[in-house]
Chains A and B, each alone.
Chain A
Amino acid sequence: MSQPADLKFLIVDDFSTMRRIVRNLLKEIGYANADEAEDGVAALSKLRGGNFDFVVSDINMPNMNGFELLAAIRAEPTLKHLPVLMVTAEAKKEDIVNAAQGGASGYIVKPFTKATLEEKLQKIVQRAQTAQAA
């Protein structure tokens, strides 16, 4: 994994407003390197083509939802190591459990704060770096 400030993020959400918000927040937190995708299909295509370090994904999206994207990432040898943070309005316990069992690295329910996003990102990045060092 790259140094935290150099991490390349892929923001996946079907709402352009939310993509912009997450992108701006990441920039404020210190992660300026980010790209966007409007659904799971576009995300997978970009992930296969670029050296991404981190995925921040919505769940409820057309074509390929966040759960399907997560499963596809975990099933692909070159992508399965990627941290995937779910940022979604789906607040059902069942969905949260499904995401965790599907290999999500974190789960944030919308609406959320900058502090929440920062805290989750730090935890995931630290965990990934520890795992890499081990």
Chain B
Amino acid sequence: MELDTKTPQDMDALFEAAAMAPPTTEKPSQATVIPIRVPANVVPIAEAFDVFQRIGSITRKLHDALQELGYDKQIADAVQSLPDARTRLDYIARLTGDAAEKVLNTIDAIQSEQDKTDAAAEIVKARVAEFAARAVGADTAVADALREFVDDYLVSSSKQREQLTEIMLAQDFHDLTGQVIRKIVAVAAALEEQLVALLLEATPPEKRTLVEHSGLSGPVVDAKGRSDVVTDQAQVDDLLESLGF
């Protein structure tokens, strides 16, 4: 049986007929009967077809209801906006990742400088100790001041290293938020796929190409292309502003 989806009335009639009709009892001719043990969980073809008919009918009713309420346009808008939303999330993930990498690079550079300065401070400390051992009179006070300064510096440097470690550890936000963003992007992709399927079901055959083009390929490719070439501040500002930053 072919599904006739030309009018809601046809679908309603089909649905009603299918809902009211008793299970199909049509039997094949005796000559073609082959005894097969059918597993209990296998749905007979006639019943499965009935299910398809019902789904078709429900889809049609949903389409009519959506059109009546003006939601078909909203679904189309939602479908079109999802790739854009995904691209923006990707953009956030990339930007935060870049920022975290910059912080880590800077920490590496600071630690490298600290290694040099600490090594120099240890040499100065040894020299000051030698100087203090020989110091007499006013030089004793100078030696004490120098020793205090070097000791204070080394304590301060140690504290700074601990704080740099904290800053470094805080960059794990990129991993944690990135994982969340990745999940949301996957959900958005699944949602988009389902909405496109719904939209296709609810769109007259002659207009389906438009839906397919607007929802499936165009915006994704175009949006991705745009994000890849964000190079000037105006584009960055525009995107961040639209995100509420």
Contact = CB atoms under 8 A, between A and B. Distances in A.
Interface of A: 13, 15-18, 20-21, 24-25, 28, 60, 89, 110-114
Given A25-B165, A114-B165, A17 B176 contact: no
A16 B171 CA distance: 11
A66 B179 CA distance: 15
Given A17-B174, A17-B175, A20-B101, 11 more contacts: A15-B97, A17-B171, A18-B175, A24-B108, A24-B165, A25-B169, A89-B175, A110-B172, A111-B176, A112-B169, A112-B172
A21 B167 CA distance: 10
A114 B165 CA distance: 8
Closest 6 pairs between A and B when the two form their complex, measured CB to CB:
A15-B175, A18-B175, A17-B174, A17-B100, A111-B172, A20-B104
Contacts of B101: 16-17, 20
24 contacts: A13-B175, A15-B97, A15-B174, A15-B175, A15-B178, A16-B97, A17-B97, A17-B100, A17-B171, A17-B175, A18-B172, A18-B174, A20-B104, A21-B169, A24-B108, A24-B165, A25-B165, A25-B168, A110-B172, A110-B175, A111-B169, A112-B172, A113-B169, A114-B165
B182 to A, nearest CB: 9
A24 B176 CA distance: 18
Provide the main secondary structure of the chain B interface.
Answer: helix
Interface string B94-113: 00010011001001100000
A115 to B, nearest CB: 10
Interface residues of B, number: 17
Interface of B: 97, 100-101, 104, 107-108, 165, 168-169, 171-176, 178-179
A74 B176 CA distance: 28
B95 to A, nearest CB: 13
Contacts of B171: 17, 21
Given A17-B97, A21-B168, A21-B171, A110 B176 contact: yes
Contacts of B165: 24-25, 28, 114
